[in-house]
Amino acid sequence: MVKDRMVELLQEHFELNLYEARAYVALVGFGVLTPAELASVSEVPAPRTYDVLRSLEKKGFAISQPGKVNKYRPVHPENILEKFIEEWQERIKEELEAKKKAKEELLELMTPLIETEIPKYGVERVWVVRGIRNATLKTKEMFEDVKEQILLADDGYIAINLENDIIKAVERGVKAKIIVAKPLLPRLQSSKLMDYYKSGKIELKVADKLELPMLICDDEVFFALEDMAARYFNYETQIWIKDFRIKALFEGKFNGYWENGKKV
């Protein structure tokens, strides 16, 4: 129903609760209502009408006319909704600035911790990373820290979503060899990585299939455990290992992919 959609939009985008949204829609429809009349023409319970109308007035959606029985009329939707958006934009701008300042302060406070001689990840050399967001953050961190070489065997995630991070590493002088699964190739045709490949700044090949997608940055290895259900729900389990021996094993697998890969 149209009325239900109006109530839904007011709740979702204009910070009114269910009863407030129903009351405002009723006011717009009937023009002027007393609390008792509101209860009779809307789905707002009678014991709540006074509080709901006062709340609407406080939020700027209604105006009251004092009298023996208070009457309420709506502020025109075009006026109040536009005013709400303008105030929301200012509030978001202030919140954004506050978050930026908080970030700068936290980075300043945390610098001694980051630069300490204690190993960044403690003594552990193996970490489990779950979820697409955490995996993305970890992968970006690897690209930021890599100094010599990137080996990427990708079946559809890293090359497309983190091409700028790869390019930044290449611009620092890092060598990059990338082999992608064949279905991914059309999506790469218009990417910056393809431009870098054509100009000789990276090496790129394509494989019919990659049984074990992986990312190797210097001595760090990152790969996903096979779990189709977890992948479907973006909660795939990734393993990060920093060990030159493990790196050598995975590099051997990568080299096998590379030898059998085809030119783009």
Q: Which residues contact 24 (CB under 8 A, 6 or more apart)?
A: 10, 16, 56, 61, 62, 74
Gap between the Cα atoms of 229 and 242, Å rounded: 27
Q: How confident is the model at residue 116 (pLDDT cuts 50, 70, 90)?
A: low
Q: Which region among 25-34, 64-73, 80-89 has the lowest average model confidence (pLDDT)? A: 64-73
pLDDT exceeds cutoff 70 at 152: yes
Give first-to-last CA distance, the chain, whole Å.
Answer: 54
> 2-75 has which fold?
Arc Repressor Mutant, subunit A (1.10.10)
Buried b (16+ CB within 10 A) or exposed e, 86-120: eeeeeeeeeeeeeeeeeeeeeeeeeeeeeeeeeee
User: pLDDT by residue (tens digit) across 215-263?
Assistant: 999 999 998 876 655 555 666 788 899 988 999 999 999 999 999 988 8
Q: Hey, where are the domains in the chain?
A: 2-75, 126-263
Q: What is the pLDDT of residue 112?
A: 80
User: pLDDT by residue (tens digit) across 75-111?
Assistant: 999 999 999 999 999 999 999 999 999 999 998 888 8
The domain over range 126-263 is classified in CATH as 3.40.50.20? no
Q: What is the pLDDT of residue 20?
A: 95
pLDDT exceeds cutoff 70 at 171: yes
Q: What is the pLDDT of residue 47?
A: 93
pLDDT exceeds cutoff 70 at 130: yes
Q: What is the pLDDT of residue 10?
A: 95
